[in-house]
């Protein structure tokens, strides 16, 4: 299975540096990924209302259909750290005619949460989206109560564009969906290297 070595985060004082790899999602990852979600609420938080707990092969297999090429409708990865340990999962869905990529189904392994990995992982996947010159926008949806995820996305320069109120019904609760996005110029501005003096 081909590994795509990721972006090495620049060193900043008191911050851990991570080198992440995006590993194409395959059937050997099914048990690991499905084991991260213990309830329907957790599955919905990750994958939206169209998936059911427990996740099974019939729901996960369609996610691995696409391969990493410029015309893929979707790309799906498990994310590994520099030691080869699986730390997360992420997907991109592409709307090529409009130059839009959607970041979706982002998860950090339960044992790896609280380490600040989400921002690093999101940065790597967004870099992959913008590596395609025709992509001008990366967007995502996140439930409004998921404050930690919203903060992680904002740290990567995603901008809140709106809220779809009461958009999901789960176990008798109504959830709002926050829409966030980043444009290529915002990505490039945040990731440009200042000229040397």
Q: What is the pLDDT of residue 66?
A: 65
Q: What is the pLDDT of residue 16?
A: 62
Q: What is the pLDDT of residue 64?
A: 86
Q: What is the pLDDT of residue 192?
A: 74
Domain 4-190 has CATH 3.40.630.30: yes
Q: What is the pLDDT of residue 108?
A: 96
Q: What is the pLDDT of residue 112?
A: 95
Judging by beta carbons within 10 Å of its beta carbon (0-12, 13-18, 19+), is residue 174 exposed, middle or buried? Answer: exposed
Token pair belonging to 30: 């099914």
CA 155 vs CA 47, 132, 150, 160: distances in Å? 22, 22, 9, 12
Token pair belonging to 136: 């001008």
- Contact yes or no for 78/66 (Cβ under 8 A): no
**pTM attached to this predicted model:** 0.87
Q: What is the pLDDT of residue 34?
A: 98
Distance separating the N- and C-terminal Cα atoms of the chain: 43
Chunked into runs of 10 residues, the chain (197 residues) has average pLDDT values of 43 59 96 98 96 97 75 93 95 97 97 92 96 98 96 95 97 97 96 58
* Segments making up each domain of the chain, as ranges: 4-190
Q: 55 has which bridge partners?
A: none
Q: What is the pLDDT of residue 157?
A: 95
């Amino acid at each position: 299975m081909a590994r795509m070595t990721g972006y090495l985060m620049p060193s900043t004082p008191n911050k851990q540096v991570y080198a992440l790899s995006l590993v194409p999602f395959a059937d050997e990852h099914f048990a690991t990924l499905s084991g991260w979600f213990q309830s329907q609420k957790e599955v919905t938080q990750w994958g939206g209302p169209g998936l059911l707990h427990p996740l099974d092969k019939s729901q996960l297999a369609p996610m691995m259909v696409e391969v990493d090429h410029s015309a893929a409708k979707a790309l799906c990865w498990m994310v590994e750290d520099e030691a080869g340990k699986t730390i997360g999962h992420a997907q991109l869905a592409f709307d090529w005619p409009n130059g839009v990529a959607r970041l979706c189904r982002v998860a950090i392994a339960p044992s790896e949460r609280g380490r600040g990995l989400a921002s690093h992982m999101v940065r790597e996947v967004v870099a992959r989206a913008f590596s395609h010159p025709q992509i001008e926008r990366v967007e995502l949806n996140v439930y409004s109560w998921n404050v930690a995820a919203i903060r992680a996305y904002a740290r990567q320069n995603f901008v809140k564009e709106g809220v779809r109120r009461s958009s999901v019904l789960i176990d008798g609760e109504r959830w709002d969906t926050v829409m966030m996005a980043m444009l290529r110029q915002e990505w490039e501005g945040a990731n440009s290297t200042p000229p040397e003096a």
